[in-house]
Amino acid sequence: MPLYFGLLAPSGPWEILAHRIVWSFLVCALLLRMRGRRLPSWRRPSRELLTIALASILIATNWVTYLLAVTSGRVTEAALGYFLTPLVSVALGFFVLRERLRRLQTLAVGIGAVGGLFLAVAGGHVPWIAFLLATSFGFYGLVKKRMPADLGALGSLTAESALLTPLALVAILTLGVSGTSTLDAGPVHVALLASTGLVTAVPLLLFAMSARRVPLVTIGLLQFISPVLQFVTGLALGEHMTPARWTGFAIVWVALLCLVTDSFRARQGRVHG
């Protein structure tokens, strides 16, 4: 993803976000049509509409924050955000859903908080990109648990992108009128912008499909592949890591190790039970 979004220069993060929203909606709508389903109905209780709107805001925040990270050469900080996301999800489960945490889960959240605080103090600046990525996606997952059941994974993403599409179209038109649009950069560039729909929708839909088929522990472990790849990509692109940042990352990795160990223990307990 960092390499792909890097190809979209000279488009800025907000222009890429607008195209990402519009093309994601078109891809999702096409997939719904191919499956013989209609677009999500908006004749819903206000509470359900509010849930969809909140999910839309959160995923748009997550997307544009990531784009800001990639376009400003802060891929390793984005990777940190996705390393922190599982810890944020566990913390939200405890504080919001009142779920009981096991000892290792509690330890993981505590160590993760120490790691985040260390990076904010010793790292020289508050890693706001990492914190915003982790909290926006963590709360997005929380809101998704309250999504209308009839939508499903595809319908949910379609509804979220549909709600954002009018604003995205206004942004694209505004850029065109102001002369700052990059749509005149050539057909290859336009094709790359259009492909943001596939790049966005397909991984999210595959994740939703696999979540119903693969054990949750496996899903949790597989989710670490993405931030690891992004972290390595950031290093390959020449991003500088100070000793303080390495230490902060190491603390977060210890927290994640606790979380993974807890997941294995919990799964073994269910199997033997």
**What's the mean pLDDT in 45-72?**
95
Please confirm whether the linkage preceding 86 is cis (ω < 30° from 0). Answer: no
pLDDT at 271: 59
pLDDT at 268: 75
**28 near 154, Cβ under 8 Å?**
yes
Which two tokens mark 162? 């549909």
Its domain, for residue 200, covers 2-272
* Gap between the Cα atoms of 273 and 269, Å rounded: 6
pLDDT at 194: 95
In angstroms, what CA-CA distances link 264 with 105, 218, 256, 258? Answer: 12, 9, 12, 10
Q: Is pLDDT of 248 > 80?
A: yes
The 10s digit of each residue's pLDDT in 124-174 is 788 999 999 999 999 998 898 888 988 888 899 999 999 999 999 999 999
Report the 10 Å Cβ neighbour count for 123. Answer: 18
* Gap between the Cα atoms of 5 and 12, Å rounded: 10
**116 near 129, Cβ under 8 Å?**
no
Q: How many domains does one find in the chain? A: 1
pLDDT at 212: 66
The 10s digit of each residue's pLDDT in 9-34 is 999 999 999 999 999 999 999 999 99
The 10s digit of each residue's pLDDT in 215-237 is 655 666 677 888 999 999 999 99
Report the candidate in 71, 26, 5, 2 with the shortest Cα–Cα distance to residue 198. 26
Output the CA angle 232-234-239, nearest 5 degrees: 125
Q: Which residue has the tokens 């303080």?
A: 244
The 10s digit of each residue's pLDDT in 84-138 is 988 998 898 888 888 888 899 899 999 999 999 999 888 778 899 999 999 999 9
Report the predicted TM-score, pTM, of the whole model to 2 decimal places: 0.90
